[in-house]
Amino acid sequence: MNLRTLGDLSVEGVAFRRQKVLLLLAYLCVEGPQPRRRLAQLFWPEAANPMNSLAQHLVHLRTLPGAVQESGTQVAPGNVSCDACELRDVVRGGRARRAAQLYGGPFLETLSIPLGADLEEWVFETREAVALEVRGALLELSRNAAAHGRTEEAGRLAAQALTLRGAPPADALELPRLWHLLRLAGHPLSAQVEREAHALGLSLGMAPDLDATPFVGREKELGQLSRLRAGTLAWVSGPGGMGKSALLLALARAGGWTVLPARAGHACGTPQLLVRGRRSTDPVAPLSTLRDPALRVAIDDWEGLDEATRAALALMVRQRPGATIVVASRRHPPFDVDLHLGLGPLPPEVLAERPGLHALTDGHPTLVGAVLGGQPLDARQGARVRALPPRTREAFLLLALQDVPDLRATCRALAMNAAEFAATLSTLVTEGLSRETGHIYAAAAARERVECIHVQAHLLHLKLARALPPAAAWAHYDLSRDLWEDADEDRAAHAAARRAAELLDRGYPGDATGVLTGFTDRPELAVLHAWALLGVGRHAEALRRLDTLSGKQRADPAAVVARATALVRLGHHEEASLLARGVGGSGPEAARAASVLAHAAHIRGAWDEARRHAQIAADLWQLSGNEQERLGELVLVASMQVRLGAAPETAFRGVLDRSLGLPSVRGSALLNYAQALMDVGQAEQADAVMGEAIVELTRAGDRLGLASAHLLAGVRRQMQGALPAAAALYRQALSELTGTGDIRQMGLALSNLSEIEGDLSAFEDALEMLRRAGQHELVAQIRRNATLTLPSPGRSLRS
């Protein structure tokens, strides 16, 4: 059943004309289930018996099968679709063009029956609300048309938004936007909007979404981007407010460019703007339009894109799809680009023709634009901060040092009570320096200025570190280390532990090791530090870190299983197994102990035992709810199944399917799958799998995994006799290992490389490095497999 409320009030396909009955149904559709008494009082406020009136109208409503559902004192709409509700849904879903198509006229425009005051107010409020949503959709369509250079369409849509029946007069926010779009198209209604704006006392500038200010100071960069060839990728980076969006909008004004603002609240919403009339949950589908070499696209705010879109776009642009693409971001590019423009504050010479402007704004592009656009925001940020009372200025600086301000912690750092802090924040908001959330305008530039005053900046960081929760405190403790007092040591260690644990969970053991390096004298951090060292392959160091524990501390299951893990990775499987068998229970320690037993069995060549223990570890991780660790163990299960005779494709199918969306785990699984294929003589198929593994590991940023992949690929090329290619892959592995501290993989890469190059001295140096790191089993294995020999007289070394 389709209820029409826009421009009409009727049920589609049914000759039913009782307006009060249909109004009741419309109210239920829009507002949802309602108590009977509420409906009776709203619809029949002056009736002698409102409940009886409601009952009579419900009788009529029941003649429309399925229109209404009644349960006790509640009345709800039945299986009814309502055009106004559908319109609101498509607006929320970002489908602006469909919303404009659905709007058949003002909500309940043909209603001709008398209404009570409250019900009449609801009708008018809903009418305006629906119309305003449609106006917003039309404005979005108009702005998108203008960004594509379709000025006539932009003007038509803006005129439609301005004159939309049922909508209230355009307000002070909408008039500037409408004026810009209409003026851009040369539409005659632009003069009417200008008169209305002047009547309201508005000073019209350029609509902020399309052309906030006159473009100034980036002529060189604009020329570089305008001259980009088809199929090239440019990256524009810089802190917030440095003019990235203004540069992209200037491209759009120049013509031929589409500017896509990030839509973080809509999954895959940004690329969806590239296609018309179609919507897909697959971010790759709309991005396929980037294969058109005639398309020139600028994507504003890389960080604001949803994760799926970022991953799909990153994969697409690496292939240089055909379109000319510019991306604006606060960070440097995460992949190779053809042109990288780093934006900072505007230098004084750029503003030389406007005397005093640089002194007024410190060259901050957003504030420069505010001044040139005649906006009321005071541009003297630096001067205004210096003019604040000392306590208010300190509050500004503390907020500027936080990426996401914690108002409660800032209040504690200032030693203020709630009333004092509320008044201080209110001052900053009033002065145009901060939002009510505590986010400072031009915070990046302000933070840079604060950090230049080192001692003051360190003291501010220390105040924040003492006030923030441990999870957020470490970054500030790290920056204020020179000022720690005795009382800070314990809390800083706790904050470092929280940060290191978070980094380990996210797969960054190298960064976790760096955090914990300054706390080698803290026994409570020894186990966590050992796991970080194990994560980067520094197994002997992990063992030495655990040796600093007392006897009682060493007996703790967490310490025992960390020691067992270090031992098994060093090849001491018997000692590792003995320790692991002493760990019981069903928690994470038990899962890690089972994993140790699996790897020990693997070293001994006991494939079925290794498979069994790895499966136990996977089951225990499942109990703990740790899916990534579980999948890691299932990779070993699959490898052992291949050793026991299973086909690699069959053994690995399950773990590969379940690891979709987890690039680091999937990359590891693919790498082991490739090894299994090589072991059973399917080397050509393994090559393709290794390539896929490298893609996944690159996407995850897993440098250790990439090093393993390049090592395996190098071994494959070496076995084929393609020694130059193998050497190049080993060097690539060494490049990935730089700074990770993974001695085991570095030793493998160095020994293999020196073997290929016939460098006996380098080969022995690599083995000596491994011996010193305690990798005795690995050294023995390399010696067994090595083909490098001393040269005969007059002959060069050969592999």
* 43-78 pLDDT per residue, tens: 999 888 999 999 999 999 988 888 889 888 899 998
Question: Considering the domain boundaries, does residue 431 fall inside one?
Answer: yes
The fraction of the chain above a pLDDT of 70, given in percent, is 84
Q: Give the 3-state secondary structure of residue 70.
A: strand
Q: What is the pTM of this model?
A: 0.49
Rounded to an integer, what distance in angstroms lies between the CA atom of residue 688 and that of residue 203? 63
For residue 423, pLDDT over 50 is answered with: yes
What's the confidence (pLDDT) of residue 377?
A: 41
**Which of left, alpha, beta for 725 (phi over 0: left; psi -120 to 50: alpha)?**
alpha
Q: 670-677 long-range CB contacts below 8 Å, 24 or more apart? A: 670/696, 671/697, 671/705, 671/708, 671/709, 671/712, 672/635, 672/636, 672/638, 672/639, 673/638, 673/648, 674/712, 675/639, 675/712, 676/638, 676/639, 676/642, 676/648, 676/651, 676/652, 677/648
Structure tokens at 577: 């197994």
Q: What is the DSSP string of 29-58?
A: HHH--EEHHHHHHHH-TT-S-HHHHHHHHH
Structure tokens at 776: 């005795």
326 phi and psi, to 5 degrees? -125, 130
Mean pLDDT check: name the lowest of 125-134, 447-456, 592-601: 447-456
142 and 194 both lie in a single domain? yes
What's the confidence (pLDDT) of residue 799?
A: 27
Query: At how many degrees (to 10) do helices 723-737 and 703-720 cross?
Result: 170
Strands (DSSP E) contained in 244-385 are 258-261, 296-300, 324-329, 339-342
C-alpha distances in Å from residue 260, one per residue of 64, 298, 358, 483 = 46, 6, 30, 46
Structure tokens at 467: 């006030």
| 692 against 281, higher pLDDT | 692
Task: Calculate mean pLDDT across residues 327-353.
Answer: 86
Rounded to an integer, what distance in angstroms lies between the CA atom of residue 442 and that of residue 343? 14
Residue type, 391: R
Q: Could you tell me if 639 and 670 are in contact, meaning their C-beta atoms sit under 8 angstroms apart?
A: no
C-alpha distances in Å from residue 14, one per residue of 65, 109, 208, 336, 710 = 11, 19, 47, 62, 70
Q: Give the 3-state secondary structure of residue 344.
A: coil
464 and 559 both lie in a single domain? no
Structure tokens at 93: 């879903």
Q: Could you tell me if 484 and 459 are in contact, meaning their C-beta atoms sit under 8 angstroms apart?
A: no
Query: At how many degrees (to 10) do helices 390-400 and 454-467 cross?
Result: 80
The fraction of the chain above a pLDDT of 90, given in percent, is 35
> C-alpha angle with apex 284: 224 to 226, nearest 5 degrees?
10
398 and 492 both lie in a single domain? yes
Query: At how many degrees (to 10) do helices 443-451 and 454-467 cross?
Result: 120
Of the three residues 715, 739, 763, the one that is the final residue of a domain is 739
Beta bridge partners of 327: 235, 299
Q: Which of 259, 257, 254, 233 is nearest to 244 (CA)?
A: 259
CATH of the domain at 726: 1.25.40.10
Residue type, 591: A
Name the H helices within 63-104.
83-92, 96-102
Number of H helices, E strands in the chain: 42, 11
Of the three residues 720, 739, 758, the one that is the final residue of a domain is 739
Structure tokens at 474: 């470490």
Rounded to an integer, what distance in angstroms lies between the CA atom of residue 108 and that of residue 492? 64
Q: Residue 415 CB: number of other CB atoms within 10 A?
A: 11
142 and 11 both lie in a single domain? yes
Q: 508-515 long-range CB contacts below 8 Å, 24 or more apart? A: 509/533, 509/534, 509/535, 509/536, 509/704, 510/535, 510/536, 510/703, 510/739, 510/740, 510/741, 513/538, 513/741, 515/474, 515/478
Range of the domain at 86: 1-201
Question: Considering the domain boundaries, does residue 510 fall inside one?
Answer: no
Of the three residues 151, 167, 201, the one that is the final residue of a domain is 201
Q: Given pLDDT bands bounded at 50, 70 and 90, which one contains residue 208?
A: very low
> How many Å from the N-terminal Cα to the C-terminal Cα in the chain?
80
DSSP code of residue 243: S
297 and 371 both lie in a single domain? no
Task: Calculate mean pLDDT across residues 685-698.
Answer: 88
Q: Please identify which residue in the block is written with the tokens 């098994």.
A: 568
Q: Given pLDDT bands bounded at 50, 70 and 90, which one contains residue 791?
A: very low
Q: Given pLDDT bands bounded at 50, 70 and 90, which one contains residue 212?
A: very low
540 and 447 both lie in a single domain? no
538 and 686 both lie in a single domain? yes
Total of domains in the chain: 4
Question: Considering the domain boundaries, does residue 317 fall inside one?
Answer: yes
Task: Calculate mean pLDDT across residues 632-638.
Answer: 92
Mean pLDDT check: name the lowest of 16-25, 133-142, 570-579, 697-706: 697-706
Mean pLDDT check: name the lowest of 506-520, 740-754, 772-786: 772-786
Q: Please identify which residue in the block is written with the tokens 């001393």.
A: 790
- Number of residues in the chain: 799
47 and 177 both lie in a single domain? yes
Rounded to an integer, what distance in angstroms lies between the CA atom of residue 548 and that of residue 532? 16
116-143 pLDDT, tens per residue?
899 999 999 999 999 999 999 998 888 6
Mean pLDDT check: name the lowest of 257-266, 509-518, 644-653: 257-266
Q: Could you tell me if 159 and 191 are in contact, meaning their C-beta atoms sit under 8 angstroms apart?
A: no
Task: Calculate mean pLDDT across residues 334-357.
Answer: 83
What's the mean per-residue pLDDT of the chain? 82
For residue 259, pLDDT over 90 is answered with: no
- Helix or strand (DSSP H, E) at 292: none
CATH of the domain at 286: 3.40.50.300
| 223 against 69, higher pLDDT | 69
For residue 652, pLDDT over 90 is answered with: yes
C-alpha distances in Å from residue 752, one per residue of 238, 710, 755, 797 = 42, 12, 5, 14
What's the confidence (pLDDT) of residue 795?
A: 30
Question: Considering the domain boundaries, does residue 213 fall inside one?
Answer: no
For residue 373, pLDDT over 70 is answered with: no
Question: Considering the domain boundaries, does residue 143 fall inside one?
Answer: yes
| Residue 27 CA from chain centroid, whole number | 40
Structure tokens at 222: 């604009």
9 and 157 both lie in a single domain? yes
525-560 pLDDT, tens per residue?
999 999 988 887 788 889 999 999 998 899 999 999
What's the confidence (pLDDT) of residue 788?
A: 47
Interstrand relation of 2-4 and 339-342 (parallel, antiparallel or unpaired): unpaired
695-749 pLDDT, tens per residue?
888 877 777 788 888 888 888 888 888 888 888 888 888 887 776 656 667 777 7
Beta bridge partners of 299: 260, 327
For residue 428, pLDDT over 90 is answered with: no
547 and 654 both lie in a single domain? yes
Q: Given pLDDT bands bounded at 50, 70 and 90, which one contains residue 593?
A: very high
Question: Considering the domain boundaries, does residue 206 fall inside one?
Answer: no
Question: Considering the domain boundaries, does residue 775 fall inside one?
Answer: no
Q: Please identify which residue in the block is written with the tokens 């409020």.
A: 125
68 and 124 both lie in a single domain? yes
Q: Which of 390-394, 425-429, 773-777 has the highest mean pLDDT?
A: 390-394
- Helix or strand (DSSP H, E) at 378: none
Task: Calculate mean pLDDT across residues 642-646.
Answer: 92
Structure tokens at 707: 């090093």
306 and 235 both lie in a single domain? yes
Question: Considering the domain boundaries, does residue 67 fall inside one?
Answer: yes
Q: What is the DSSP string of 736-767?
A: HHTTT--HHHHHHHHHHHHHHHT-HHHHHHHH
| 380 against 96, higher pLDDT | 96
Task: Calculate mean pLDDT across residues 31-51.
Answer: 92
For residue 371, pLDDT over 80 is answered with: no
